[in-house]
A and B are shown apart, each in its own frame.
Chain A
Amino acid sequence: MTKRLLITRPNHDVILSYIHFWNNDVIQLAKDKGFQVKDLEGKQADKEILEEYLEKQQPVLIFLNGHGNSTTICGHDNKPLVDVEQNVKLLKSSIVHALSCNSSEILGEAAVKAGAGAYLGYTLPFSIVTDKSSECKPGKDRLAELFKEPALEAPKNLVKGRTVGEAYAKAKKRYKEAILSFSLSNSPLEAEYIRFALFSNMQAFDLKCNDSDACAW
């Protein structure tokens, strides 16, 4: 049976361009693991395109990247893509990871009530520290890169077939390890603010599910 992954990754501003770039690794890993990947990037991160796909296909994994709030995750140009009042039911039977601000509390809860296998997301804004001299150069900003692996730990583990409970726990652990690695005496000048933003993301990362053993395989 074909395993499908749907990923949205708009890239119309700086923070989204970083997240768009980071997710190349997730897409490659998913392809290596045999997933058929539907990649809605840039302008393709559009509500109509997403709905048309989800009405025809049932991806086991949905990774939503984009700006958001407690009820909505956005696509290209910050236009709503998934909304608690409009189309949350389309997430039914999928395991959802949302790298988006604030969406877990209300949208995540609604997704699970609508039948989603799980919803891993953030209850607060997702934040990163950037080097002002390297901004707009995804992959070149040594500070922003420090946020990549903790943020991708959960989606990568879901692709590897780990349960949602395991993926959640591994992501929390990865955040904590990253925080502690910047607590050493030889940490760079920026360490205090890197730790702060990593801590904020760790604290905000959340799992909503009825069964923590749900997995993609």
Chain B
Amino acid sequence: MMKNENDMLNLVLARLSVMPEHIAIRFGDKSEELDKEQLILHVKKQDEIGKRFVRLQMDYIKAAIRGFA
């Protein structure tokens, strides 16, 4: 794995570590709810959901830096 990818994973995991416990994300194509613990597992495993979540997080972070312009 490239260092850059490791950095991205670590950044996303750090962000997930402060996700409030009482909330969950539901993706419309999956029936399960994804709370903090489950998202961390998916990201660490780098399965389909984990990869998708990292990709979306990176898009989000880049857009946030631009002020969502």
Contacts and interface: CB of A to CB of B under 8 A. Distances in A.
A135 B33 contact: yes
Contacts of B52: 125
Contacts of B35: 132
Interface string B28-45: 111101010000000000
Interface stretch (A34-42, A85-93, A188-196): A188-196
Contacts of B27: 101, 125-127
B25 A193 contact: yes
Interface in A175-210: 176, 179-180, 189-190, 192-193, 195-197, 199-200, 203
Given A101-B28, A135-B33, A176-B68, A199 B60 contact: yes
B29 A143 contact: no
B23 A69 contact: no
Interface residues of B, number: 23
Interface string A58-91: 0000000001110000000000000000000000
B14 to A, nearest CB: 12
Interface residues of A, number: 34
Given A176-B68, A193-B19, A199-B68, A132 B28 contact: no
Contacts, number: 78
A54 interface: no
Q: Which 10 A-B pairs have the closest CB atoms?
A: A101-B29, A126-B28, A125-B27, A101-B28, A125-B29, A127-B27, A15-B26, A189-B20, A199-B60, A196-B60
Given A101-B27, A129-B25, A200-B56, 16 more contacts: A13-B31, A101-B29, A126-B27, A126-B28, A127-B25, A127-B28, A129-B24, A130-B23, A143-B23, A189-B20, A193-B25, A195-B64, A199-B60, A199-B64, A200-B59, A203-B59
Interface of B: 15, 19-20, 22-31, 33, 35, 52, 56-57, 59-60, 63-64, 68
